[in-house]
């Protein structure tokens, strides 16, 4: 029997035996239209640094373990594994529109969707998947147009503004209205823990000149609020600020529940975010 507990802001932790995954209350309001969830590090068969629910094929793990981990979480959430479409993530801004013909790519068959860090779909039954271990998952859903997007926004993608790129593409969908978009920023590294050197800080400050996004630590060390930048870019793209939800969970601070590249010093697995328009 599944158990539900609130964590973070508007975030629900679902426990199903050893398996743990999360959902977001703002998107659960569209349960009749949308399936969404994000894995944690708990409930799979992987061992060592990828223990236990690693979903990243590029990690230090056997492919057979990753496939079994996908099977476990898909069975628990009633998602068909054959419906999954996986990104290959290069920390860029390429966002691809995906269709029923793309299902299975990246997991069960070869993918021609190269260099992608996000997907957009209006096709029911297509399950978009992105991977995360500190980088922000961004869920976007426009209920009237029945259009969804799922993005991997790491620091490089945030700097290059993948959010605006995705919103620009979604605005091409007939009937789409940015003001109706429901946006969620999932668990990712927080302002508390994202420390960078002067060169990275200067790149961000040169593009996003808002002092509230930054905090000087000492010497050449700075902290950057990636989630605040994402929120600002969503609002600039026309999303109502009342519909932009940041779960407020830092993966490094919560590395007992989530894989964290920085928290685990690079020896870690990957969570995955999932999003599907219901058939």
Position 118 confidence tier, pLDDT thresholds 50, 70, 90: very high
Q: What is the pLDDT of residue 198?
A: 98
**Domain count for the chain:** 1
Is residue 48 assigned to a domain? Answer: yes
Is residue 16 assigned to a domain? Answer: yes
Is residue 32 assigned to a domain? Answer: yes
Give the CATH number of the domain where residue 142 resides.
Answer: 3.60.140.10
Percent of the chain beyond pLDDT 70? 100
Is residue 165 assigned to a domain? Answer: no
95: containing domain: 3-154+254-277
Q: What is the pLDDT of residue 162?
A: 98
Half-sphere exposure of 168 (CA within 13 A, CB side): 9
pLDDT digits (tens, 9 = 90+) for 233-251: 999 999 999 999 999 999 9
Is residue 59 assigned to a domain? Answer: yes
Return the structure tokens found at 239.
């999303």
pLDDT digits (tens, 9 = 90+) for 8-17: 999 999 999 9
Q: What is the pLDDT of residue 51?
A: 98
Range 21-27 average pLDDT: 98
Q: Is the dihedral of CA 262, 84, 105, 129 positive or negative?
A: negative
Is residue 126 assigned to a domain? Answer: yes
DSSP state of 195: E
* Peptide bond between residue 175 and the one before it cis (omega within 30 degrees of 0): no
Phi, psi of 22 (to 5 degrees): -125, 155
Is residue 242 assigned to a domain? Answer: no
pTM of the model: 0.98
- Give alpha helix (H) positions in 48-94: 63-77
Range 72-84 average pLDDT: 98
């Amino acid at each position: 029997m599944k158990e539900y507990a609130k964590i973070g802001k508007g975030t629900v932790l679902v426990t199903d035996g050893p398996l743990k995954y999360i959902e977001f209350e703002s998107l659960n309001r569209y349960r009749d239209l949308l399936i969404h969830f994000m894995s944690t590090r708990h409930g799979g068969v992987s061992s060592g640094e990828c223990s236990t629910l690693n979903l990243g094929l590029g990690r230090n793990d056997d492919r057979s373990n990753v496939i079994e981990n996908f099977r476990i979480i898909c069975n628990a959430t009633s998602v068909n594994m054959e419906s999954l479409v996986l990104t290959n993530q290069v920390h860029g801004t390429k966002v691809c529109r995906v269709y029923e013909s793309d299902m299975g790519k990246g997991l069960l068959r070869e993918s021609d969707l190269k260099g992608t860090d996000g997907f957009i779909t209006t096709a029911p039954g297509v399950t978009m998947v992105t991977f995360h271990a500190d980088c922000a998952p961004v869920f976007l859903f426009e209920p009237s147009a029945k259009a969804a997007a799922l993005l991997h926004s790491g620091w490089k993608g945030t700097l290059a503004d993948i959010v605006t790129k995705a919103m620009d593409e979604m605005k091409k969908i007939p009937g789409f209205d940015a003001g109706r978009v429901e946006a969620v920023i999932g668990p990712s590294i927080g302002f508390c823990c994202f420390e960078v050197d002067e060169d990275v800080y200067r790149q961000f400050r040169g593009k996003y000149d808002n002092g509230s996004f930054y905090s000087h630590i000492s010497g050449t060390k700075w902290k950057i609020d990636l989630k605040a930048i994402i929120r600002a870019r969503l609002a600039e793209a026309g999303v109502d600020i009342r519909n932009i939800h940041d779960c407020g969970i830092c993966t490094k601070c919560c590395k007992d529940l989530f894989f964290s590249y920085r928290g685990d010093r690079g020896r870690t697995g990957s969570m995955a975010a999932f999003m599907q328009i219901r058939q």
